[in-house]
Structure 1
Amino acid sequence: MPDFETRAEPHRRELLVHCYRMLGSMPEAEDAVQETFLRAWRAWARYDERTASVRTWLYKIATNTCLTSLEGRARRPLPAGIGAPADDPRAPLVPALDVPWLQPFPDARLDDPAGQVVRRGTLRLALVAALQLLPARQRAVLVLRDVLDFSADETARLLDTSPAAVNSALQRARAGLSAAGPVADEMAEPADDVRKTVDRYVEAFEAADVDRLVELLSADVVLEMPPVPLWYRGAADYGRFMARVYDLRGRVWRTASVGANTQPAVAAYCADDEGVLRLHTLQVFTVQDGRIAHTYVFQHPEVFTAFNLPPVLAG
């Protein structure tokens, strides 16, 4: 149906971002978008443009697809969301593969230089992690109202409810988000300064220089490493943990720059016994006041696949 494809396809990328915010997983978001387009194609003959634009109509289908997917499911956390920080940098690194961990979003899938799909700060990991704490319908209301700027009346029509119910849910969602801690835009400083800080961190990381790494950290920096449920707070424990990493994995590391959730990120490669640089982790950074304030370290095949990361780094 060419007319359907012509009118619906331009909205695919933003619907993928929407479903990711709702679900916290790239594979699940892609499945939800596929289901959205299938449902929309089947209903295209009944679509009435007098009642809603194609974009709004697709958001209604996508949101309800996500709500159905979330029924009976556990939320997607990060390690810092399920327990206290570890106090032993040499604790066993045992992955908890039964936990549906929050996953990052590859910036390469945005293709959004003008910022039309993702406004500043609205895809950052801290916000997406906080959204997962909300009940599904509150999450939907907050995203539709505060992120996508749908009106209360529009949101009510999208969710088949009343504007009063939307406003009530939005108030509870905002309170829940506030209780989760500060999740506002962390990119207050210029992007060039953020990039310089990350570049200095990467130089120290590749040099296996723990002292220099620690100098670049904020005092209360957080390090978390899904699917390992351990996480650390504070520059001292971060440094001791990194010393352990170099003891375990060696001191020959290289990185490739990527982007995740509109934040700076690198794919980290570690040399094996033959000197081959093999993919180890995807690391995503938050920078505040010229220092690394949060490092998210992902080591899961689904994440590597979503980012199209080569298993071996050439050269």
Structure 2
Amino acid sequence: MTDRPSPEDFLKLADPLRRELLAHCYRMLGSVHDAEDLVQETYLRAWRGYAGFEGRSSLRTWLYRIATTACLTAIDSRGRRPLPTGLGAPSAEATTPLTERPEVPWLEPVPDVMVGAGADDPAQIVTSRESIRLALVAALQHLPPRQRAILILRDVLRWRAAEVAEVLQTTTAAVNSGLQRARAQLSEVSPSLDDPVEPLPPEQRERLERYVAAFESYDVAAIVELFTEDAIWEMPPYPTWYQGAETIGRLIEANCPAKRPGDLRLVPVSANGQPAFGMYLLRGEAYHAFALPVLTLAREGVSHVAMFFDLSLFDTFGLPRTLPTRDRAFAKK
């Protein structure tokens, strides 16, 4: 009889795969919090069953099978996670009050460093960041769960059809058929992903600096100038979304609680392979966590902002909930 391995033995073999499994679960679920839970569940199941692991497949394939099965079960009970742009047409009423939909399980951003997109290998950085782009993860949410798994395993992870069939316990023919349908559906809902990836060229870095300066000085005209003509702005948990630079400007003027220079501070982070910021609002004697915008940059300007108001994301991204007004150095990093 095979002896049950010690936790140290199992973790030594499995721990190097943790970040890529987290990325896989995130692509499947669209939630960094759910992905972390499912990775923990995967490792617990694997630990319990490791004594019976016969090595007919690699440990990596075996862990992916457990993780994918757990994700499919979770999707059945929790459903998909949309962004507002996946729910309907844009709103033309930028000045009307906003109404939250907290009951909707919204898509969440993920820090690059949690899923390997902050690695040292430049080629790995680009590959990892392209595969977790916010637009791609949002588009994946439109696919049926098994098609989603097939497309991720085949087109993102570049697995062979036979390997995917082994993970999903199905036939190669079923995998190929599912992949064809998934690609066709994804092409209908997924926008072009040809916007710049890291390292950002100097003009894009300069544009980000202007973006920070425009918000921190609350210069709405300067903000509008930074957007492309048909830019998109969305703000889960608010279900409405807006298109057009001028419309975005009117939305900010009407609904942003900041009203004067110095009301906002932005701290740069990186989410989904894209530039992002922890945005803080001045209340009393300190800046308080307000939102986490994730930007998509096109050659002509900022083409998309997804502004996330879930303050638990500040903890996920390692950001403090408050900044003292005297701490200008940190706020400007």
Tell me what 1:211 maps to. 221
How far the C-alpha of 1:120 sits from its partner, in A, is 4.3
Answering whether residue 234 of structure 2 is matched by residue 229 of structure 1, we say no
Q: Superposition pairs for residues 115-194 of structure 1, below 5 Å?
A: 115-116=123-124, 118-187=127-196, 191-192=200-201, 193-194=203-204
Q: Equivalent residue of 1:119, what SS?
A: helix
How far the C-alpha of 1:119 sits from its partner, in A, is 2.9
Paired residues, what number?
312
Structure-2 separation of matches of 1:190 and 1:36: 34
Structure-2 separation of matches of 1:203 and 1:73: 40
Identity of aligned residues (%): 48
Structure-1 separation of matches of 2:53 and 2:73: 21
Structure-2 separation of matches of 1:280 and 1:301: 7
Structure-2 separation of matches of 1:300 and 1:168: 38
Answering whether residue 17 of structure 2 is matched by residue 11 of structure 1, we say yes
Residues 216-239 of structure 1 deviation map (CA, whole Å, 9 limit, x = unaligned): 110000000001111100011001
Tell me what 1:254 maps to. 265
Residues 240-286 of structure 1 deviation map (CA, whole Å, 9 limit, x = unaligned): 1122245x3332211111111110001111111x2421111101100
Q: Which TM-score applies when normalising by structure 2?
A: 0.90
Match of 1:267 among 255, 270, 278: 278
Contact 1:189 1:289 in 2 (8 A): no
How far the C-alpha of 1:189 sits from its partner, in A, is 8.7
Q: Superposition pairs for residues 75-154 of structure 1, below 5 Å?
A: 75-109=80-114, 110=116, 111-114=118-121, 115-116=123-124, 118-154=127-163
How far the C-alpha of 1:185 sits from its partner, in A, is 4.1
Tell me what 1:44 maps to. 50
Q: Which moved more, 1:130-139 or 1:206-215?
A: 206-215
Letter in 2 for 1:38: L
Structure-1 separation of matches of 2:199 and 2:320: 31
Task: Note the aligned Cα RMSD (angstroms).
Answer: 1.6
Structure-2 separation of matches of 1:120 and 1:100: 24
Contact 1:195 1:264 in 2 (8 A): no
Shift in CA distance, 144/57, structure 1 to aligned 2, threshold 3 Å: same
Structure-1 separation of matches of 2:300 and 2:206: 9
Q: Which moved more, 1:145-154 or 1:84-93?
A: 84-93
Q: Equivalent residue of 2:221, what SS?
A: helix
Contact 1:78 1:129 in 2 (8 A): yes
Q: Equivalent residue of 2:34, what SS?
A: helix
Q: Which TM-score applies when normalising by structure 1?
A: 0.94
Shift in CA distance, 116/39, structure 1 to aligned 2, threshold 3 Å: farther
Structure 2, unaligned runs of 5 or more: 1-5, 328-333
How far the C-alpha of 1:197 sits from its partner, in A, is 1.7
Letter in 1 for 2:175: V
Shift in CA distance, 43/9, structure 1 to aligned 2, threshold 3 Å: same
Letter in 2 for 1:74: G
Q: Superposition pairs for residues 191-206 of structure 1, below 5 Å?
A: 191-192=200-201, 193-206=203-216
Residues 53-90 of structure 1 deviation map (CA, whole Å, 9 limit, x = unaligned): 11111111111110111114321000011021111112
